[in-house]
């Protein structure tokens, strides 16, 4: 099982200074810290660093332009792969030509180290960009296929319900042939099955999900993959799971600098954000089902150590982290995307965590590697 990193570029409040000065300082620090952390991960043996595209998510994610971060890292890292995790793909977020252009450019600058994640985001973001709820899946599917056609063709034109485009030359072409491996972000059985059906790699959230549920979704993904056909030129049979990860010399030391407060911040913030921004877009059934849990998290009625006890997050010393990683390996994960920059954890503690994973965990995982399958050609 490979270990990756995942970044949203968090700038949690309190910022220490009034807005906008505190926000600016927090954002700038988070960006520069992330660059240094990925450079260390490059030397420490992590396989890929992934960068989200999110909009309007104050506190949790201040990264709307992952291509800029990836471009910078393409010049300051040597071997680590760089992942779009993800490009928001349905028409409305961005024209397919812009996705083709920026992903291919990043692939050239990195000399073929790009992974291309795709996704549909959430109603809060879709509504702001005018992406219709009842058509976003169709838009995503067509846009992914369109981007690949643009990479394959010297010239491209389209006349579909979602895209009217006269013939144009598409430049540049990706460094990798036929193109970077493609993935789909998933948070449910349905989206995991969709990834398998289209033979895309699976980017699966596990932060709020027991390992047993993760295993069930991976199994559904594998079954759909076996019966599916590739949407792109590459059949990418990999399941990647992401969750909060923090490795320390000892649990006592991690607790001493407030790891549980940072875990608690993450859960409370996502609950507050969901209730304020996503909840109005829910169906009544979703509201009835999810409100009790969201309200509990928002009001701090949780013990963050419970998530670690049930392996929904990975916190501890190297041995404890390795034991938990083995559970994800046994569940069928090919990669674990380590979400390390969260809450109020210091830059120094995150660097230490990356170093410990690189020196004490990755070598032991590599001794019993798991086969992954990436097949070019359609």
**Rounded Cα gap, residues 176 and 113, in angstroms:** 8
279, 320, 283: which is closest to 297 by C-alpha? 279
So what's the pLDDT on residue 373?
57
Look over the chain and give the mean of its residue pLDDT values, rounded to a whole number: 94
Three-state DSSP at 191 gives: helix
| Inter-residue contact 206 to 311 (CB < 8 Å) | no
Sites in the chain below the pLDDT cut of 50? 371, 378
Three-state DSSP at 338 gives: strand
What are the C-alpha distances in Å from 2 to residues 38, 171, 205, 304? 16, 32, 16, 26
Three-state DSSP at 76 gives: coil
**Rounded Cα gap, residues 190 and 187, in angstroms:** 8
Cα 5 from chain centroid? 9
Does the domain at 2-376 match CATH 3.20.20.30? Answer given as: yes
Q: Specify burial of residue 3 (Cβ count, 10 A radius: 0-12, 13-18, 19+).
A: buried
Q: How many C-alpha atoms does 315 have within 13 Å on its Cβ side?
A: 27
The tens digit of pLDDT for each residue in 12-39 reads 999 989 999 999 999 999 999 999 999 9
So what's the pLDDT on residue 376?
56
Q: What is the pTM of this model?
A: 0.95
**Rounded Cα gap, residues 246 and 256, in angstroms:** 13
| Inter-residue contact 71 to 107 (CB < 8 Å) | no
The tens digit of pLDDT for each residue in 308-359 reads 988 999 999 999 999 999 999 999 999 999 999 999 999 999 999 999 999 9
């Amino acid at each position: 099982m490979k270990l990756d990193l995942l970044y949203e570029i968090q700038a949690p409040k309190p910022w220490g200074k009034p807005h906008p000065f505190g926000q600016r300082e927090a954002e700038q620090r988070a960006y520069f810290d992330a660059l240094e952390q990925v450079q260390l991960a490059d030397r420490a043996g992590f396989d890929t660093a992934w960068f989200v595209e999110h909009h309007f998510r104050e506190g949790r994610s201040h990264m709307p332009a992952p291509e800029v971060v990836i471009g910078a890292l393409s010049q300051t890292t040597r071997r680590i792969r760089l992942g779009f995790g993800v490009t928001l793909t349905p028409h409305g977020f961005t024209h397919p030509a812009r996705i083709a252009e920026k992903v291919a450019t990043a692939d050239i600058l990195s000399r073929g180290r790009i992974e291309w994640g795709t996704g549909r985001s959430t109603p809060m973001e879709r509504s702001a960009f005018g992406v219709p709820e009842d058509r976003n899946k169709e838009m995503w599917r067509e846009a992914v296929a369109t981007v690949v056609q643009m990479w394959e063709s010297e010239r491209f034109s389209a006349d579909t319900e979602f895209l009217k485009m006269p013939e144009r030359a598409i430049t540049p072409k990706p460094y990798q042939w036929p193109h970077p491996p493609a993935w789909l972000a998933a948070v449910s059985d349905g989206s995991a099955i969709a990834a398998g059906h289209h033979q895309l790699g699976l980017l699966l959230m596990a932060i709020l999900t027991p390992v047993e549920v993760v295993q069930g979704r991976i199994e559904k993904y594998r079954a759909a993959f076996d019966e599916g056909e590739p949407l792109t030129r590459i059949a990418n049979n990999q399941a990647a799971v992401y969750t909060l990860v923090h490795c320390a010399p000892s649990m006592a030391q991690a607790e001493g600098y407030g790891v549980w407060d940072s875990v608690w911040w993450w859960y409370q913030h996502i609950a507050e954000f969901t209730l304020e921004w996503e909840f109005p877009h829910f169906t009544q059934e979703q509201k009835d089902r999810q409100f009790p849990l969201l309200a509990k998290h928002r009001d701090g009625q949780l013990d963050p150590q419970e998530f670690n006890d049930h392996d929904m997050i990975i916190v501890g010393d190297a041995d404890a982290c390795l034991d938990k990683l083995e559970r994800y390996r046994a569940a069928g994960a090919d990669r674990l995307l380590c979400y390390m920059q969260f809450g109020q954890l210091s830059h120094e503690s995150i660097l230490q965590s990356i170093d410990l994973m690189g020196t004490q965990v990755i070598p032991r995982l590599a001794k019993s590697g798991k086969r992954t399958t990436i097949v070019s050609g359609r």
